[in-house]
Amino acid sequence: MVVFNYFIELFEKSDLIIEFVWFLIAMLLFLVITIIIYLKYLRSTLRRNEKSKNKLEKEFETAIITYLYAGDPDSKEISSDQLLIIEGLKKGTSKSYRKDILIATMLKLGYEISGEMAESIDKLYIQTGLKEYSLSKLKNKKWNLIAEGIRELTLFEVKEVQHLVKEHLNHPKSEVRSEMQLYLVNLFHFKGLDFLNEIKTPISEWDQIQLLEVLQLYKTQEISDISSWLKSSNESVVFFSLKLAKIYNQYGVKEELIALLQHPNVNVRVEAIHIISHLDIIEAKNELKTNFNTLDLEEQIAFFAMIEETYELADKPFILDNILNPNFEIKYSALKILKELSLDEFNSFKDLSLDPQFIKIINFVESN
Amino acid sequence: MQNTILVIRFLFFLYGFMLIGSYIVLGIISVIESIEYMKKNSFVNYNKILSSNISPSISIIAPAYNESLNIIENVRSLLSCHYANYDVIIVNDGSKDDSLEKLIEAYNLVKVDFLINEQIPTQPIRDGIYKSTNPAFEKLIVVDKENGGKADALNMGLNISTNKYVACIDVDCLLIEDALLKLIKPFLETTDTKVIAAGGVIRIANSCIIKQGKLIDVNLPKNMMVQGQILEYLRAFLLGRMAWSRLNGLLVISGAFGLFDKKIAIEVGGYDIHTVGEDMEIIVRMRRYMEELEDKPKYKVAYIPDPLCWTEAPDNYKTFISQRNRWTRGTIETLRKHRKIGLNRKYGAMGLLSYPYWFLFERLAPIVEILGLLYFGLLVFFGKVRWDYTIAFILVAYLFTVLFSIIAIISEELTYHQYKKKGTGLKMVIISFTEPFIIHPFILYSAVMGNIDYYFNKKKKWGAMTRKGMSNTQTKN
Amino acid sequence: MKKILLAEDNSMLSLLLKFRLEKEGYELLIAENGKESIALIEEHSPALILTDIMMPFISGLEVISHVRNTLFAKTPIIVFSASGQEEVVLKAFKLGANDFMSKPFSPNELMNRVQRILR
């Protein structure tokens, strides 16, 4: 008690600043206690949610699988057993978080299977009213919900809402644009790529890879005409069509590809050389060879990769010019080609330099 | 005399005030950034990229020094990453044990002829370079070289890799399966900014159940030392780095797991073998390189808050102290080597914000603290202590630390919720209260010792690197 | 009853195939990763192995390699791969896989192939 009184006295006598600090302490203490209570609440809610989510998932999983096997194999119609399941699912998903779980469960399978069963899952999506739910997300103000809605429409192949999805062509958030592009390409394949004519925003590398992967699901070598995209003022569209040219061996766009060798962006030029090499467009070779010394290093390296595939005896003087090239990769490439072109000359040039790097390459090329 | 004391008091007060202020600001920024990140990544489909052959190539570089005990399992776990286009380069850095023999036997390795473009000078190859004859292990390359320390081993990996990106990791840490995929994403999703490096969160694996290279169950360890570190990591990664990444001011990517643009890493000369803080140093140097480029391209060091990499933390004071001592010296060395950046407008946010912050609140913090304690000691000696002030200010600082820790825990719960077990929440709260007494004194001690070793014990400075200096975490339970 | 091993980490797909295969009179053993599947193969020597290529810890490729080169078993193996993994599939064939299906695949088609192999 004495101690306590001492402190009270002290407090009364103390300066303004110390009073303020004590006030701060009280505040902090209050905050700490509140936040601990919140943590407790948060953890139990999370645990409860997770439990009920797992339970729901299991329920939905069984329901979906039963639904899939309850169909009549000979008819396209929905069987009465299936109708029962649909009604059950509808009742069970009045709340939106339950709808989200059902969608996630259906997708878990949707990613892995195709054919009749996949179609039957798409049908289930429409029958349970989830399509309206996804569509309602498109009208939401939150961009992440719009993106989510588009994604669901994509995965359950709802083709007829194209116009609603396309409204987001130039949405300020890249995530929404990316989902929109995936929708078009997933459902309309090469025709879906028409958005490339209009798009003003850059398409990231990540999105490009996704789009190409989707396209590759459809085993076709017939693709749209890419020549206008190769001339696009949107550089990412150029990069994308270069990738298309490579994957789908587009010999038809030879001239456009050669024209890209003059593109202001060095990365475009390098990529163009790679594709030209991949497609064996010999016409470009002489031009590149003549201008070799004016090219950027990256282009030179890319060109040597091309020469490695297409060398002929006439290239020998050019190769000999480069066996002492200061760049390791070019030097290595030149020596490798020289050995193939003429072993005698390779042997006569192998003591040309005492540079250890040169000797290392010589030894390696000799024994391989 | 009276004035001097007033000035000293004012300086201490100002320092404390700024420290607390910066924590509050960083905390707020990190919350904003976390919400944004979770929103952005809630519906990403990694499946497509995962298996794509068009996805860019990555090399995992893992230096190993006397890791014989676990090397087979560790390599196996690295080989089973979910990514289509990668290889694994194990650099055996002059191990004196039978690591190499074990690897050869387990993975059917044979010596191959390999032309190395030695862009960064390193210690020479010792036994050779090995690859597997079994197509199932085609991704694996094992390099046996003379000992040169972790940085030197990583440089060898940089020379050997033919891929566009390199992931530098500690061989003993556990990567979750889609770690590469998640870490490559920032490089591929930006369109106007060049990402030069990306780092992930390090989580502590002590007491967690790991089976077959996979994290099965996350537990809170009983060891108080490790508990304290878990909290410390949560604060640093979920609140600190998250905010710095938003400000594009990250100066460090943990050496245990980071992904780099190989071309830039090589252009700056790879890792510095003369520092014990090579993981921080290379990031600062890469950033500096980008800032000094003529056309000033937009660039960033990215950060992924997902728990991608789990590692064992020291569970005894001895290893802990030596680890922190090394970190302290690494920070001092890096900041000193690049002191030109500090407060230099030419280096933008890095010079005006990150560097001063690191210097004031990481580099100087232990020194200020020790000076404060000494000053306080003097006051006690002369009987001049105002106990009401002392108690009040200590309480403020203490409660603030506790509050900050609990916010970090909440942030973890809201994002990844890894510690699911019942009762763990209460334990974590208790740790928030005890942690300042359990590990803080040791952090302070090792930081001070680090300073002393750096300035007065040159032998230690060099010795530590060649003998050890491999992994952040040498201990295994 | 003929035993079939399925190594697949998507539990719902496993469940779907389990229903179907059991209806056709096979016993299905489910492994969630490569290590489990090797253990199950050694214990039960199934008549057919269905394995995903990308699996945690031990990949499908290693499972094939283990069956052919360590156990010297001729058990037919069908691999599942994600699309666009032609190289990996080639590797799988080199190691001794008998057939492959690329995901997403049709469960009906899989049933046909299973029945053809086990007839």
> Residues of A with CB below 8 A from C12's CB?
61, 64-65, 105, 108-109
Per the structure, the complete domain to which residue B176 belongs is given by: 57-190
**Which residues in chain B (262-321) have CB-CB distances under 8 A to chain A?**
none
> Residues of C with CB below 8 A from B137's CB?
62
Contact A275, A308 (CB under 8 A): no
B222 & B185 share domain: no
Tracing tokens 């999983």 back to the chain, one arrives at A61
Cα A132 to Cα A121, A125, A138, C70, distances in angstroms: 16, 10, 10, 55
Rounded to whole angstroms, the Cα distance separating B62 from B157 reads: 8
Cα-flanking dihedrals φ and ψ of residue B307, to 5°? -75, 90
Please check the confidence at residue A13 and state whether its pLDDT lies above 70.
Answer: no
Determine the residue of chain A that is closest to B113 in CA distance. A364
Q: Do B214 and C62 touch (CB under 8 A)?
A: no
Q: Return the SS3 of A226.
A: coil
B81 & B123 share domain: yes
Q: Is residue B250 in a domain?
A: yes
Q: Do A205 and B399 touch (CB under 8 A)?
A: no
Pick C109's closest partner by Cβ from A112, A115, A217.
A115
Structure tokens at A227: 């020549």
Last residue of one domain, picked from the residues B190, B224, B239: B190
Rounded to whole angstroms, the Cα distance separating C36 from C38 reads: 5
Q: Do C103 and A69 touch (CB under 8 A)?
A: no
The answer to whether A361 contacts chain B (CB < 8 Å) is yes
Which pLDDT does position B137 carry in this prediction?
Answer: 92
B311 & B447 share domain: yes
Please check the confidence at residue B475 and state whether its pLDDT lies above 80.
Answer: no
Q: What pairs with residue A266 in β-bridges?
A: none
User: Which has the higher per-residue pLDDT, B472 or B35?
Assistant: B35
DSSP letter for each residue of C54-117: S-SSS-HHHHHHIIIIIS-----EEEEEETT-HHHHHHHHHHT--EEEEESB-HHHHHHHHHHH
B182 & B202 share domain: no
Q: Is residue B283 in a domain?
A: no
B99 & B240 share domain: no
Q: Is residue B134 in a domain?
A: yes
Q: What is the CA radius of gyration of chain B?
A: 23
> Residues of A with CB below 8 A from B185's CB?
206
Model confidence at A302, in pLDDT bands (50, 70, 90)?
Answer: very high
Q: Do C13 and A216 touch (CB under 8 A)?
A: no
Q: Do A24 and B396 touch (CB under 8 A)?
A: yes
Pick A114's closest partner by Cβ from C15, C23, C104.
C104
The answer to whether A28 contacts chain B (CB < 8 Å) is yes
Q: Do B403 and A32 touch (CB under 8 A)?
A: yes
Mutate to test the interface with A, among B42, B181, B399, B429 (most CBs of A within 10 A): B399
Subunits next to C (3 or more Cβ pairs <8 Å) are: A, B
Structure tokens at B348: 């933008």
Pick B51's closest partner by Cβ from C55, C62, C85.
C85
Q: At what angle do helices B150-160 and B278-292 cross, to 10 degrees?
A: 50
Structure tokens at A364: 């390696």
Please check the confidence at residue B267 and state whether its pLDDT lies above 90.
Answer: yes
Determine the residue of chain C that is closest to B211 in CA distance. C57
Residues in chain B, total: 477
User: Which has the higher per-residue pLDDT, A166 or C87?
Assistant: A166
Q: What pairs with residue C79 in β-bridges?
A: C51, C100
The minimum CA-CA distance between B80 and chain C, rounded to whole Å, is 5
- Structure confidence by residue, pLDDT tens digits, C35-82: 888 899 999 989 999 998 877 666 788 889 999 988 888 899 999 987
The answer to whether B423 contacts chain C (CB < 8 Å) is no
B303 & B201 share domain: yes
The answer to whether B40 contacts chain A (CB < 8 Å) is yes
Alpha carbon distance, N-terminus to C-terminus of chain B? 55
Rounded to whole angstroms, the Cα distance separating B246 from B35 reads: 12
Number of Cβ within 10 Å of residue A26's Cβ equals 11
Which pLDDT does position B463 carry in this prediction?
Answer: 38
Structure tokens at A190: 């090469």
Residue B125's identity, in one-letter code, is I
Contact B258, B198 (CB under 8 A): yes
The answer to whether C87 contacts chain A (CB < 8 Å) is no
Contact A199, A237 (CB under 8 A): yes
Which residues, other chains included, contact B168 with Cβ-Cβ below 8 Å and sequence gap of 6+? B61, B154, B157, B255, B257, B258, B259, B260
Residues of A near C (Cβ–Cβ under 8 Å) read 61, 64-65, 68-69, 105, 108-118, 213, 216-217
Closest listed residue to residue B402, CA positions, set B380, B435, B427, B376: B435
- Structure confidence by residue, pLDDT tens digits, B18-73: 999 999 999 999 999 998 898 888 767 776 666 677 889 999 999 999 999 889 98
Q: Do A213 and C105 touch (CB under 8 A)?
A: no
B38 & B152 share domain: no
Please check the confidence at residue B156 and state whether its pLDDT lies above 80.
Answer: yes
Model confidence at B471, in pLDDT bands (50, 70, 90)?
Answer: very low
The answer to whether B52 contacts chain C (CB < 8 Å) is yes
Please check the confidence at residue B310 and state whether its pLDDT lies above 70.
Answer: yes
Which pLDDT does position B365 carry in this prediction?
Answer: 94
User: What's the mean pLDDT in A176-192?
Assistant: 92
Q: Is residue B141 in a domain?
A: yes
> Residues of C with CB below 8 A from A105's CB?
12
The minimum CA-CA distance between B22 and chain C, rounded to whole Å, is 42
Closest listed residue to residue A263, CA positions, set A295, A305, A289, A292: A295
Q: Do A111 and C104 touch (CB under 8 A)?
A: yes
The total domain count for chain B is: 2
Model confidence at B458, in pLDDT bands (50, 70, 90)?
Answer: low
Long-range contacts of A202-205 (CB under 8 A, 24+ apart): A202/A234, A202/A235, A202/A236, A202/B191, A202/B192, A203/A178, A203/A236, A203/A237, A203/A240, A203/B191, A204/A174, A204/A178, A204/A236, A204/B188, A204/B189, A204/B190, A204/B191, A205/A239, A205/B56, A205/B187, A205/B188, A205/B189
User: What's the mean pLDDT in A49-76?
Assistant: 85
Per the structure, the complete domain to which residue C40 belongs is given by: 3-118
The answer to whether C109 contacts chain A (CB < 8 Å) is yes
Structure tokens at B1: 């005399």
User: What's the mean pLDDT in A108-126?
Assistant: 86
Contact A337, A319 (CB under 8 A): yes
| CATH number, domain with residue C99 | 3.40.50.2300
Last residue of one domain, picked from the residues B154, B170, B190: B190
Rounded to whole angstroms, the Cα distance separating B169 from B186 reads: 18
> Residues of A with CB below 8 A from C16's CB?
65, 68, 109, 113, 117
Q: What pairs with residue B90 in β-bridges?
A: B62, B142
The answer to whether B192 contacts chain A (CB < 8 Å) is yes
B181 & B202 share domain: no
Structure tokens at B295: 């056309």
Rounded to whole angstroms, the Cα distance separating A145 from A140 reads: 7
B403 & B294 share domain: yes
Tracing tokens 């940085």 back to the chain, one arrives at B151
The answer to whether C72 contacts chain B (CB < 8 Å) is no
- Structure confidence by residue, pLDDT tens digits, A310-344: 888 888 999 999 999 999 999 999 999 999 898 88
User: What's the mean pLDDT in A156-176?
Assistant: 90
**Which residues in chain B (411-430) have CB-CB distances under 8 A to chain A?**
413-414, 417, 420, 422, 425-426, 429
The Cα diameter of chain B in Å comes to 79
Q: Is residue B118 in a domain?
A: yes
Q: Do A148 and B43 touch (CB under 8 A)?
A: yes
Please check the confidence at residue B212 and state whether its pLDDT lies above 80.
Answer: no
Cα A174 to Cα A113, A214, B31, B341, C22, distances in angstroms: 29, 18, 22, 34, 46
The answer to whether A329 contacts chain B (CB < 8 Å) is yes
The answer to whether C51 contacts chain B (CB < 8 Å) is no
B399 & B442 share domain: yes
Rounded to whole angstroms, the Cα distance separating B233 from B240 reads: 10
B29 & B90 share domain: no
Structure tokens at B364: 């100087």
Q: Do A357 and B119 touch (CB under 8 A)?
A: no
Percentage of residues in chain A having pLDDT higher than 70 = 95
The minimum CA-CA distance between C49 and chain B, rounded to whole Å, is 17
Average pLDDT across chain B, whole number = 89
Rounded to whole angstroms, the Cα distance separating B227 from B204 reads: 9
Question: ω into residue C104 within 30 of 0, thus cis?
Answer: yes
The total domain count for chain C is: 1
Which pLDDT does position A3 carry in this prediction?
Answer: 64
| CATH number, domain with residue B166 | 3.90.550.10
User: What's the mean pLDDT in A58-87?
Assistant: 83
The answer to whether B177 contacts chain C (CB < 8 Å) is yes
The minimum CA-CA distance between A144 and chain C, rounded to whole Å, is 26
Model confidence at C107, in pLDDT bands (50, 70, 90)?
Answer: confident
Rounded to whole angstroms, the Cα distance separating A7 from A2 reads: 9
Rounded to whole angstroms, the Cα distance separating A140 from A146 reads: 6
User: What's the mean pLDDT in B402-414?
Assistant: 93
Model confidence at B131, in pLDDT bands (50, 70, 90)?
Answer: very high
Closest listed residue to residue A274, CA positions, set A293, A294, A247: A247
B174 & B252 share domain: no
Contact B146, B92 (CB under 8 A): no
Which pLDDT does position B470 carry in this prediction?
Answer: 33
Please check the confidence at residue A221 and state whether its pLDDT lies above 80.
Answer: no
Cα A31 to Cα A27, A284, B232, B237, C79, distances in angstroms: 6, 71, 20, 23, 57
Please check the confidence at residue B462 and state whether its pLDDT lies above 60.
Answer: no
> Residues of A with CB below 8 A from C54's CB?
none
Q: Do C82 and B136 touch (CB under 8 A)?
A: no
User: What's the mean pLDDT in B176-193?
Assistant: 91
Closest listed residue to residue B19, CA positions, set B245, B212, B240, B333: B240
Comparing A68-82, B237-251, C4-18, the range with the smallest average pLDDT is: A68-82
Q: What is the pTM of this model?
A: 0.88
Q: Do B53 and C85 touch (CB under 8 A)?
A: yes
Helix (H) or strand (E) holding B199: strand B194-204
Q: Return the SS3 of A25.
A: helix
In a 13 Å sphere around the CA of A164, the CA atoms on its Cβ side amount to: 18
Residue B303's identity, in one-letter code, is Y
Closest listed residue to residue B146, CA positions, set B40, B86, B219, B63: B63
User: What's the mean pLDDT in C91-115?
Assistant: 89
Q: Return the SS3 of B246.
A: helix
Model confidence at A278, in pLDDT bands (50, 70, 90)?
Answer: very high
Structure tokens at A337: 């080609």
Subunits next to A (3 or more Cβ pairs <8 Å) are: B, C
Which pLDDT does position B437 carry in this prediction?
Answer: 93
